[in-house]
Amino acid sequence: MRVVPWVLATSLVLALPLHALAAPLQAVQRPTTIPDAAMTRASQLREQALASNLGYEITESLTTEVGARLAGSEADARAVQWAQAKFKELGYDKVWLEEVRFPKWERRSEHAAVLGAHAQRLSILALGGSPGGTVEAEVVRFADLASLEAAPAGSLAGKIAFVDHTMARARDGAGYGMGSRVRSRGPSAAIRAGAAAFLMRSAGTDSHRNPHTGITRFDEGLTPVPSAALSLPDADQLARLVARGPVRVRVELDCGWNGEALSHNVVGEITGARKGGKADEVVLIGGHLDSWDPGTGAIDDGAGVGLTMAAGALIGQMKQRPARTIRVVAFANEEQGLYGGKAYAAKHLGAIRKHQLAAESDFGAGRIYAFRSGAPDYAQGAVTQIAEALAPLGIAHTPTEGGPGPDISPFAAQGMAWATLRQDGSDYFDYHHTPDDTLDKIEPKALAQNVAAYAVFAYLAASADGDFGSEAKPVSPPSE
Amino acid sequence: MRVVPWVLATSLVLALPLHALAAPLQAVQRPTTIPDAAMTRASQLREQALASNLGYEITESLTTEVGARLAGSEADARAVQWAQAKFKELGYDKVWLEEVRFPKWERRSEHAAVLGAHAQRLSILALGGSPGGTVEAEVVRFADLASLEAAPAGSLAGKIAFVDHTMARARDGAGYGMGSRVRSRGPSAAIRAGAAAFLMRSAGTDSHRNPHTGITRFDEGLTPVPSAALSLPDADQLARLVARGPVRVRVELDCGWNGEALSHNVVGEITGARKGGKADEVVLIGGHLDSWDPGTGAIDDGAGVGLTMAAGALIGQMKQRPARTIRVVAFANEEQGLYGGKAYAAKHLGAIRKHQLAAESDFGAGRIYAFRSGAPDYAQGAVTQIAEALAPLGIAHTPTEGGPGPDISPFAAQGMAWATLRQDGSDYFDYHHTPDDTLDKIEPKALAQNVAAYAVFAYLAASADGDFGSEAKPVSPPSE
């Protein structure tokens, strides 16, 4: 398929009018702006949201009443029911479900132990997508992924590969790039070298006996092997033991793929003002409803669901609705491959221009410290106005940092305008994908700041005169 | 049996000489003092210990090579072998084992789950001493132990009692008084009210999904019921669910008593100087060798064993030995009822006067901040000299705070002189008795400070002119 790069295609179209040659490109499109009255109302909304506990209450409800909700599980179906009921309870005008289908992976149990003279248990979690199986073999440690990838074919025959990469802590989660790469590419690299199983130091920044799970994949043509993550103290322990001499370990996983599952994106709308005729356009915010199974999915991503539901509800309670509709989406199965986000993009591609601007929260509930939008230049005046309304929340306008959230990224890749509200993720990877992802890790006041930011953002985007550039692009969606 | 209170008995004896009536009581005994030369050498020893990593290396060896070592388990036997070998490797002059027998308790597995509309797993650990069994029943929450104890007989028939007491954080671990009382008395109180099982919020100060185990007991005449601790986030969760309406929970424990076990106190000695004729007297320091099974027993009590072994070894390396022998004891089975400490007291009662002074480390590896000794007044001059030598380590002399460590307390109750070096336990109960009690929780420099303190203490006590008052008292040991 021939792909026209987006920047080039846009330039060609914009270049057509002759007067554009003498003026900045964005001048061909009337600049998008936000009326003063809306800016004033956004300030009030911001203060009201800061004083509200609604985001926390919704997150508490989801994580307590449903708890863990692995995509495709019985609890996932309960979460869908919960979201539908919660939208209605919060006064959303329209609430509906959209089907999402995906392969179902199940975790039943996992055990690991050092054998022999230093016999002891190791704390592990199977990686999502791993097959089950029991392997007893010697462990070969690799300091990083590159070392494993450099292992000659057959060199790990009958062994367990152990990648001991230590993920770095960072406010923006930058260390997760390599951390998650070890998880997604390590198993295939291990198999290519002949390994019978794969272990990794969890992609995390904590020091607790709670391993970090997460999805892995096996390259085509390879026979998957049992793959699991050790907690960080267990990785330390295994590294110390390996340094003392040969170590045999037993890895026992009972897990695997089991047919197809049906879940749903759950959508709630606060309809735009009747006057103005823009209620068919939407500002989309949301998070994902599924979680990994060991914790209760509080920071990942109960908070994202709770805070965007709350932001929409607070806008719904305003005397004067914004012109456009606020659409809140609780996406299905983000964790195993953005199934909900891809299904949404596929279903709504024809309405891409009706999607004014979108932002997803999927990075916990730390205070938001930065904002940007990938909107075209002609809309950056309005983006700057939104940034001004966010500034009292301690949020900086950082025009070049960050991209769209995971579930909106398939649609953003097809041309939907997006923004990002960046949470402080300094401690996000202490809990992410572990049993420790529970409600107590959320600071209610920080969550209220998040609600305020999303409410202000959504309200102003829905009140703008002009658009943020959503338009179908002739490019293929990135393969996630 | 008739028991003469110790204070009264002592007063009677001391009152006998007539001149004592006009002078302070301690004047009847020559004051114990420490020679200046010993004080000087103690300063050198202190600096040498501070610069040494030996305590950490020993603790690393135990927690890595043996790992968890539940009293009576195969790993416990390996720990005994490890301690014996390590004493020899460290150059101890004499090393031997002393038998300790006790009932053997085994943990095999434990599971708990909320049933019904809010179905989800709960993270629990069986309490030591709990029987196995599966119970499905409604949960009744009690805010504290007193509320459960006030529940009328039969009022909890067929229910699960849940005590939700929150333990307070404190440098000296004061909150553990009530925390451990819930654990030791809660199950019996639950049974008296008719409960079929007992759950408690862990006696801990953390916020992780790692429950705190620990021994419990059942009062005579009661039929034990399955008893377990919830992690703190799980206790939060259960409390939130109970607040919403009736909650049924399934508790499944596979654990219980299984015959008698044999383990050993492991003793190592640095023999006192040949000259002086006091080498048959000992200064006793130590920790306990056993641990709970979920962690690797690093702070409880690998550190205590490692730091006292190191302190003795450093004294052994001095050019000039102290007059008395340094005896280091790695006690067996402290966790389930001070079996090692009681066996030691029973075996060595006849030699109580040969025990110059004793101190045990069993409160982690936080920096030592306070020192005291329960020695009689005539020895407090020497105690003050020891305190002066400890002061550069940031250790205060607190003449009224704290008592003897657990394993020496049975012997101390019978009259052995004791001292205490109090560790900062602010974070001790974040990890105590959990899977999270692992080596990474120990700060090597803090551990070196501990080694320095114990080395200085033991060296000076072993160099004193005069004694610290060990003498068999006509009292029964406290029932632990």
**Does residue A429 fall inside a structural domain?**
yes
Q: List CB contacts (< 8 A) between A440 and chain B.
A: 207, 232-233, 236
From B381, B398, B404, select the one nearest B480 (Cα to Cα): B404
Tell me if B439 and A67 make a contact (CB, 8 A cut-off). no
Same domain, B121 and B227: yes
Asked if the Cβ–Cβ distance from A208 to B439 is below 8 Å, we say no
Residue A424, preceding peptide bond in cis (omega within 30° of 0): no
Say which DSSP state A271 is in.
P
Within A127-247, strands assigned E span 133-142, 160-163, 197-201, 227-230
Contact A441 B207 (CB under 8 A): yes
Residue B252 CB partners (closer than 8 Å, separation 6+) = B109, B110, B111, B112, B133, B134
Q: Pick from A75, A118, A435: which is nearest to B123 by CB?
A: A435
Q: Single out the residue of A280, A288, A286, A281 nearest to residue A264, CA to CA.
A: A288
Spatial distance between the Cα atoms of B206 and A352, rounded to a whole number of angstroms = 47
Query: With a CB-CB cutoff of 8 Å, which residues 240-299 of chain A face chain B?
Result: 240-241, 244, 294-296
Q: What is the pLDDT of residue A5?
A: 33
Cβ of B119 under 8 Å from any chain A Cβ? yes
Q: In this structure, is residue A397 part of a structural domain? A: yes
Residue A239 in any domain: the answer is: yes
Q: Which of residues 344-363 of A touch B (CB under 8 A)?
A: none
| Nearest residue in B to A70, CA atom | B120
Identify the pLDDT of residue A477: 53
- How many other β-carbons are positioned within 10 Å of the β-carbon of residue A248? 16
Spans of chain B, pLDDT less than 50 = 1-27, 480
Whole-angstrom distance, CA of residue A468 vs CA of residue A395: 21
The residue count for chain B: 480
The answer, for A210 touching chain B at a CB cutoff of 8 Å, is: yes
Cβ separation of B236 and A60 shorter than 8 Å? no
Tell me which of A120, A122, A249, A291 to substitute to probe the interface with B (most B C-beta atoms closer than 10 Å): A120
On whether both A320 and A392 belong to a single domain, the answer is: yes
In whole angstroms, give the CA distance from residue B15 to residue B7: 12
Chain B nearest-CA distance from A210, in A, is 8
Side-chain-side CA neighbours of B165 within 13 Å: the count stands at: 26
The amino acid occupying position B153 is A
Q: Is the ipTM of this complex over 0.85?
A: yes
**A244 to B64: CB separation less than 8 angstroms, yes or no:** yes
Interface with A, mutate which of B57, B62, B64, B440 (most A CBs under 10 A): B64
Helix (H, G, I), strand (E, B) or coil at A47: helix
Taking an 8 Å cut-off on Cβ atoms, the answer to whether B64 and A240 are in contact is yes
Torsion, Cα B424 B430 B431 B432, to 10 degrees, reads 70
Residue of B nearest to A434 (CA): B209
**Count of helix runs (H) and strand runs (E) in chain A:** 13, 14
Q: Quick check: B165 and B200 in contact, CB under 8 A?
A: yes
Q: Which residue, A205, A226, A258, sits at the end of a domain?
A: A258
Claim to verify: residue A279 and residue A363 sit in the same structural domain: yes
Which of A74, A209, A441 lies nearest to residue B438, judging by beta carbons? A209
Residues B225 and B308 in one domain: no
> Do A79 and A165 belong to one domain?
no
Task: Return the residue of B nearest to A67 by Cα.
Answer: B120
Closest CA to A330 of A5, A94, A98: A98
Same domain (yes/no): B293, B423? yes
Residue B480 near residue B5, CB atoms below 8 Å: no
User: A7 φ, ψ to 5°?
Assistant: -65, -45
As given in the structure block, the two tokens for residue B33 are: 């003092």
Same domain, B287 and B219: no
Domain end (from A205, A233, A258): A258
- B111 and chain A: CB distance < 8 Å anywhere? no
A64, A210, A241: residue with CB nearest B209: A210
Residue A184 lies in a domain: yes
A115, A254, A438: which to substitute to probe chain B, counting the most B Cβ within 10 Å?
A438
3-class secondary-structure state, position B106 = strand
CB contact under 8 A, A438 and B209: yes
Alpha-carbon distance B36 to B280, whole Å?
23
Q: Which of B64, B119, B440 sits opposite A207 (nearest CB)?
A: B440
Alpha-carbon distance B67 to nearest alpha carbon in chain A (angstroms): 6
Based on the domain organization, do B343 and B235 belong to the same domain? no
Which chain B residue shows the shortest CA-CA distance from A439? Answer: B233
Q: What is the CA radius of gyration of chain B?
A: 24
Burial B70-83 (b: 16+ CB within 10 A, else e): bbbbebbbbbbebb
Residue among A68, A233, A241 minimizing CB distance to B120: A68
Q: Which of A230, A258, A286 is the last residue of a domain?
A: A258
The answer to whether A358 and A341 have CB atoms below 8 angstroms apart is no
d(CA B305, CA B285): 9
In total, chain A counts a number of residues equal to: 480
Distance CA A36, CA A464 (A): 10
Per-residue pLDDT, B23: 38
Q: Is B58 on the interface with A (CB under 8 A)?
A: no
Q: Is B73 on the interface with A (CB under 8 A)?
A: no
User: Greatest CA span in chain A, whole angstroms?
Assistant: 81
Quick check: is A14 in a domain?
no
Asked if A183 reaches chain B (Cβ–Cβ under 8 Å), the answer is no
- pTM for the predicted model, two decimal places: 0.93
Among B285, B281, B245, smallest CA distance to B452 is for B285
- How far is it, in rounded angstroms, from Cα A461 to Cα A371? 13
Q: What pLDDT does A474 receive?
A: 75
Count chain A–chain B contacts defined by CB atoms under 8 A. 98
Min Cα distance B6 → chain A (Å) is 46
CATH number of the domain at A387, please: 3.40.630.10
Q: Are residues A202 and A55 located together in one domain of the fold?
A: no
Distance from CA of B79 to the nearest CA of A (A): 10
Which positions in chain B touch A60 (Cβ < 8 Å)?
A: 240
pLDDT of residue B476: 57
Q: One digit per residue, pLDDT tens: chain A, 480 residues? A: 323 333 333 333 333 333 333 334 444 689 999 999 999 999 999 999 999 999 999 999 999 999 999 999 999 999 999 999 999 999 999 999 999 999 999 999 999 999 999 999 999 999 999 999 999 999 999 999 999 999 999 999 999 999 999 999 999 999 999 999 999 999 999 999 999 999 999 999 999 999 999 999 999 999 999 999 999 999 999 999 999 999 999 999 999 999 999 999 999 999 999 988 999 999 999 999 999 999 999 999 999 999 999 999 999 999 999 999 999 999 999 999 999 999 999 999 999 999 999 999 999 999 999 999 999 999 999 999 999 999 999 999 999 889 999 999 999 999 999 999 999 999 999 999 999 999 999 999 999 999 999 999 999 999 999 999 999 987 555 554
- Interface contact B236, partner A, CB < 8 A: yes
Burial bucket for residue A209 (CB in 10 Å: 0-12, 13-18, 19+)? buried
Contact assignment for B237 to A439 by CB distance below 8 Å: yes
Report the amino acid identity of residue A55: G
- DSSP assignment of B210-265: -----B----TT-----EEEE-HHHHHHHHHHHHHS--EEEEEEEEEEEEEEEEEE
Q: Do A156 and A46 have their domain in common? A: no
Establish if A208 touches chain B: CB-CB under 8 angstroms. yes
Residue B172 inside a domain? The answer is yes
Domain shared by A425 and A314, yes or no? yes
Of B119, B240, B244, the CB nearest to A75: B119
Q: Which of B107, B108, B207, B208 to mutate to test the interface with A (most CBs of A within 10 A)?
A: B208
**Domain assignment of residue B430, yes or no:** yes
Q: Are residues B284 and B245 in the same domain?
A: no
Residues of A within 8 A of B79 (CB-CB) are: none
- In this predicted structure, what is the pLDDT of residue A8? 32
Residue contact A241–B295, C-beta within 8 A: no
Domain extent for B311: 36-93+271-463
Parallel, antiparallel or unpaired: strands B325-331 and B355-360:
unpaired
For B224, list phi and psi in degrees, rounded to 5. -55, 145
Residue B471 lies in a domain: no
Give the DSSP letter of residue B375.
-
What CATH number did the domain enclosing B136 receive?
3.50.30.30
A343 to chain B, closest Cα gap in Å = 28
Query: Average per-residue pLDDT in chain A?
Result: 93
Q: How many structural domains does chain B have?
A: 2
